[in-house]
Structure 1
């Protein structure tokens, strides 16, 4: 409500002819100003509501055209009601909040049959976060792999779209590497297994999905760990479908600082090798338990890829290995740590043509694991 002060000098003097019109004029001006503000506010609310409505219509169409269509994954997803999801999450209680990102919020929930789920909510009225949600629908409806988080369905009853995923209980890889001190360090063989599962999931996206899918945001916080601490790739909001017949997708560089392929950043050409680069950084995180970007490491070593490459050039690669593993490692384990380090650096080659494919990376990790397993069998036989 506008409050206008009316000049009263003429009224006090009593000799200003025509001064009795001043309050009327001021009232008219104030009324017009208030009306314009109300109109502007009404237009803003209308446009916001219209954007929300259009987002809901788009999501509904995506669900009908993609989720329930015959897709390459052979699965369909359920259309959840808002009542079901409110009940599952205790009306989106803050106690059930799992995390917050640029897209919105994720809540833990339990469906009526006891199934645990994760419910992702787009930001209200934010078309960018809605686009990312819709992109996840498009991508996840086409894939089915044990190392990719599974989409169960969606909801379009509320103002913002909701996606329902399988619940992956043991947090993210980043949580285990840098999170609460109460978590025991991941043993070397478990880290190798996580590397293998993640590599297999990304390789599936590149070579088995049709069309191929470039994730574009591979990082330790987007790798979830299940009951057995097996890795599952999540968060497909930035993913892109490859264009048939083209060697790359031309798009503005998006991703996370420290994981972003420098060649993609320079020429805006997204390829499968961009994911290879990002995965190389994840391998270094598994090896070192160091963050991809850390301003506490010193000016020349802020970037983990640069930090480890310098150590390798100086023939002290094992010096950057996580002490929690290295100090208890056998000679064979030290050798396999070194092998994984050099594989990671191969993924981080500046020119994408020099990087291996994700299929080659997965095969190499499998080879390293087999070396360890074979040595363990020999050791057991010798000790028997």
Structure 2
């Protein structure tokens, strides 16, 4: 009898051990399935590059390919197939890799907006992030007229202020977690061939090992920095002096008649009343911290102070005498599929803008990008309206209606 009892106790213990082992195995299986699904989802969001690809694109990270260096590491210009790119080499002494890197790249690659520099892919093994290349460099370089570039005129500076404000508003309204930019400044505003501006380096602060730096930043700090950036657009000078002193100088100039003109960048050729209004908006941002209010004011100014147009011919007959005079649209006004001027522009996953009906028809019949040939998963066929491009095209049509009727 005692032997039978002992066997029963032994079997009960064995059953409990097997049940515990079964629970562990089931839990491990569930974790593995979840990790597999997450990996598959990540694979569909952005292109993964090998270290060999990056080295070939940048001539082994040569000095000649280097185009910048900052807090997050060096930046190199490269080319994948026929597409120019900017490749950031993260400094792993300052950043965490592994799962955190993957998670942040997943999130950042899903964020697309016309006013944000597009993340095209990553090389996780080497800590490389691949972005679209912005050929006109940074706003800081243009304000300083680097390499002999001409000064930005006031209407381009005004438009850039509105574009940066639009991009920040988008980042601040992301759900469930808004993105707070670590430093809104001219060196982080990049320009394309047509001087269109995009915000760079957004979201990278989340990769810093020191998480306290992330918690110290708020959307209010971004609005304050935006106000300083607008003042720099007005004056054309980097904020070398303490920001408080910089703000006080502008306030004092606004309080005195005609004193503001002595602070303005002569290269901008600012209309006096426009400069006063823009300076007031900038100072309000350093106090009230309201981007929506700033955006509303900037949109009104854009209407009140339209970009000056070249003097039109004195008569329509002059146009007939010069058959080569019809102005041609910029390349980016044309749909890459139909090669016609876009009426309803939408941004696709590859970062290019297309005529909505054309790209929709393409996706109905193809599983690749029309421009890059990259394979696209079903969740990569979302289209985002490009309102900025639509406005630019409508403005161009209004100015050239006699050549290009809608």
- TM-score of the aligned structures, taking structure 1 as reference length: 0.63
- 1:276 corresponds to which of 194, 200, 223: 223
The aligned residue for residue 286 of structure 2 is 348
- Quick check: 2:228–2:243 contact (8 Å CA) kept in 1? no
Consecutive unaligned residues in structure 1, runs of 5 or more: 1-60, 242-250, 255-267, 295-299
After TM superposition, the structure 1 = structure 2 runs for residues 275-314 of structure 1, keeping only pairs within 5 Å, are 275-294=222-241, 303-314=245-256
Report deviation, 1:92: 1.1
> In the TM superposition, what whole-angstrom CA distance separates every residue of 1:11-54 from its partner, at most 9, and x where no partner exists?
xxxxxxxxxxxxxxxxxxxxxxxxxxxxxxxxxxxxxxxxxxxx
The aligned residue for residue 100 of structure 1 is 69
SS in 2 for 1:214: coil
In structure 1, distance between residues paired with 2:249 and 2:36: 45
SS in 1 for 2:194: coil
In structure 2, distance between residues paired with 1:366 and 1:145: 19
The aligned residue for residue 145 of structure 1 is 113
SS in 1 for 2:163: helix
After TM superposition, the structure 1 = structure 2 runs for residues 68-107 of structure 1, keeping only pairs within 5 Å, are 68-69=41-42, 76-107=45-76
Report deviation, 1:215: 1.1
- 1:231 corresponds to which of 197, 202, 220: 197
- 1:156 corresponds to which of 124, 131, 155: 124
In structure 2, distance between residues paired with 1:360 and 1:198: 14
After TM superposition, the structure 1 = structure 2 runs for residues 6-85 of structure 1, keeping only pairs within 5 Å, are 65=38, 68-69=41-42, 76-85=45-54
Consecutive unaligned residues in structure 2, runs of 5 or more: 1-33, 317-406
After TM superposition, the structure 1 = structure 2 runs for residues 208-223 of structure 1, keeping only pairs within 5 Å, are 208-223=174-189
Matched, 1:126 2:93: yes
- Quick check: 1:206–1:214 contact (8 Å CA) kept in 2? yes
The aligned residue for residue 193 of structure 1 is 159
The aligned residue for residue 320 of structure 1 is 263
Matched, 1:335 2:303: no
- 1:372 corresponds to which of 302, 305, 308: 305
- Quick check: 1:80–1:155 contact (8 Å CA) kept in 2? yes
RMSD across aligned positions (CA): 3.5
Distance 1:363 1:301, change over 3 A: closer
SS in 1 for 2:239: coil
**Number of corresponding residues:** 277
SS in 2 for 1:98: strand
In structure 2, distance between residues paired with 1:149 and 1:344: 24
- Quick check: 2:144–2:236 contact (8 Å CA) kept in 1? yes
SS in 2 for 1:283: helix
> In the TM superposition, what whole-angstrom CA distance separates every residue of 1:276-318 from its partner, at most 9, and x where no partner exists?
0000010001011011124xxxxx8884223322322445223
Distance 1:382 1:64, change over 3 A: farther
In structure 2, distance between residues paired with 1:66 and 1:304: 49
Report deviation, 1:137: 2.2
Matched, 1:166 2:132: yes
